[in-house]
Amino acid sequence: MKFTAPREILLKPLQSTIGVVERRQTMPILANVLLVARNDQLLVTATDLEVELVASADVEVESEGEITVPARKLLDICRALPEGVTISVAVKGDRVQVQAGRSRFNLSSLPAGEFPTVEDIQASQSFHLPREAVERLLDKTHFAMAQQDVRYYLNGMLLETGEHYLRAVATDGHRLALCEVEVSDQKLPAQQVIVPRKGVIELQRLLDGSGELTIEIGSNHIRVQVDGIRFTSKLIDGRFPEYERVIPRDPGNVLKADRDTLRHALQRAAILSNEKYRGIRLEIRDSGVVIQAHNPEQEEAEEEVEVEYSGEDIEIGFNVNYLLDALSAVESEAVKLGLTDSNSSCLVTDLDRDDSKFVVMPMRL
């Protein structure tokens, strides 16, 4: 195998795929990328057995072939070479030689046949969406995913398709985030799949920009094609909780506030909250909201915020970080908080649109 390409052309697919190459690998070959050169095209594949990324680049192929090379070393070499230089990559015996100008590097390699790849995911459905829509779905919900929870199905994000929508839901058992986008021009079958946390994070990195992407969903994998990059992730085999049961239907007590005013008041009060539990108390009255926080050092903070409120007087405690995350995900200048009583969860919604919902469970203080 031998091919040549300008430094910038070779650098792009390496940078796109390096995110899934972990530094500590149980299998040595997972520290490598698979290079496949044919038809004047280079395919660069990286995987950690859970998430696979394949990026392509137009190169000049002198002799076709495939080989694996250490991913980070090849990327570091390309980054360190001067701009505009032409790089030549060739297999010499059991080594890969990288040449550019007067620089020459000999890298170790492992056979391409040993590299694990996912070819056919046996997709049961395929549809197209604007990148901005999928980016919004993930941005509005990813923060509520659990981290290393024993309930492994919470360490990821639920993607649910319905007749004309794609919905994302994430929960860690203490809060929940939901967002959906319309897929009006395509009729989708009802299906639920859980994408693992790492897959969600890698997908987010690929979505910056505009244009369309293609999503394919199989029984064990999800695949997304975007800008010459093919993303494939295994799915979590588990049953996601019945999330609709925890979303308050019609909370009787409704609070409307300026989002930034409320958020800044919570941020200030949080400075003196307990560092471990992050608890704050809200006293909600017709006259406004009093936010209180205290910690084991007997320090206290109190903030008063003017709000529009209709309902009973309520005293309720929350983890302030969960409330702040929900407020940060709201887009409009005004935010709506729906409350039932001091023992029930709070529903945070955008005042201008109803395609996203955030639920925060109360905490005892």
Residue 350 lies in a domain: yes
Q: State which of 215, 244, 273 marks the end of a domain.
A: 244
- Above 80 in pLDDT, residue 317? yes
Residues 91 and 166 in one domain: no
pLDDT grade for 263, boundaries at 50, 70 and 90: very high
Give residue 274's pLDDT: 95
Residue 89 included in any domain: yes
Mind listing the pLDDT tens digit for each residue in 2-29?
999 999 999 999 999 999 998 887 899 9
pLDDT value of residue 111: 96
- At 14 the pLDDT is 97
Q: Are residues 263 and 240 in the same domain?
A: no
360 or 25: which leads in pLDDT: 360
pTM for the whole structure: 0.92
Tell me how many domains the chain contains: 3
pLDDT tens digit sequence for 58-98: 999 999 999 999 999 999 999 999 999 999 999 999 999 99
Q: What pLDDT does 290 receive?
A: 98
pLDDT, residue 76, reads: 98
What's the burial of 150, exposed, middle or buried (CB within 10 Å: 0-12/13-18/19+)?
exposed
The CATH number for 100's domain is 3.10.150.10
What is the per-residue pLDDT for 26? 81
Please name the helix (run of DSSP H) or strand (run of DSSP E) that holds residue 71, with its range, or none.
helix 71-80
Residue 352 falls within a domain, yes or no? Answer: yes
178 within 8 A of 357, measured Cβ to Cβ = yes
Band the pLDDT of 101: cuts 50, 70, 90. Answer: very high
Which tokens belong to 104? 């020459």
Please give the pLDDT value at position 323. Answer: 97
Question: Is the pLDDT confidence value at 238 over 80?
Answer: yes
Same domain, 252 and 236: no
- Final residue of a structural domain among 212, 244, 276: 244
pLDDT at 217 over 90: yes
- How far, in Å, CA of 212 to CA of 189, rounded? 20
In a domain, 365, yes or no: no
Confidence at 307, pLDDT banded by 50, 70, 90: very high
Per-residue pLDDT of 265-303, as tens digits, reads 999 999 999 999 999 999 999 989 999 999 999 999 999
Residue 55 has pLDDT above 90, yes or no: yes
pLDDT at 41: 97
Would 147 be classed as within a structural domain? yes
The sheet carrying 32-38 orders its strands as 65-70, 32-38, 41-47, 51-58, 229-234, 221-226, 212-217, 125-130
Residue 334 lies in a domain: yes
Where does the pLDDT of residue 208 fall: very low under 50, low under 70, confident under 90, or very high at 90 and above?
Answer: confident
Give me the pLDDT at residue 22, please: 83
Mark which of 46, 80, 114 sits at the end of a domain.
114
pLDDT band at 151 (very low <50, low <70, confident <90, very high): very high
Could you tell me the residue range of the domain that residue 224 belongs to?
125-244
* C-alpha to C-alpha distance for 225 and 206, rounded to whole angstroms: 10
DSSP state at residue 235:
P
SS3 content of the chain, % helix, strand, coil (to 5): 25, 45, 35
Q: What residues have CB less than 8 Å from 307, skipping those under 6 apart?
A: 255, 256, 257, 262, 284, 288, 289
Has residue 353 got a pLDDT over 90?
A: no
What are 292's two structure tokens? 């209180």
- The pLDDT value recorded for residue 155 is 97
> For the chain, what is the mean pLDDT?
95
Task: Give the span between the Cα atoms of 363 and 365, in whole angstroms.
Answer: 6
In a domain, residue 90? The reply is yes
What is the rounded CA–CA span in Å between residue 29 and residue 47?
10
Res. 352: pLDDT tops 90: no
Give the per-residue pLDDT at 210.
83
- Can you give the pLDDT at residue 342? 94
Flag whether 120 is in a domain: no
Per the CB < 8 A criterion, the answer to whether 1 and 64 are in contact is: yes
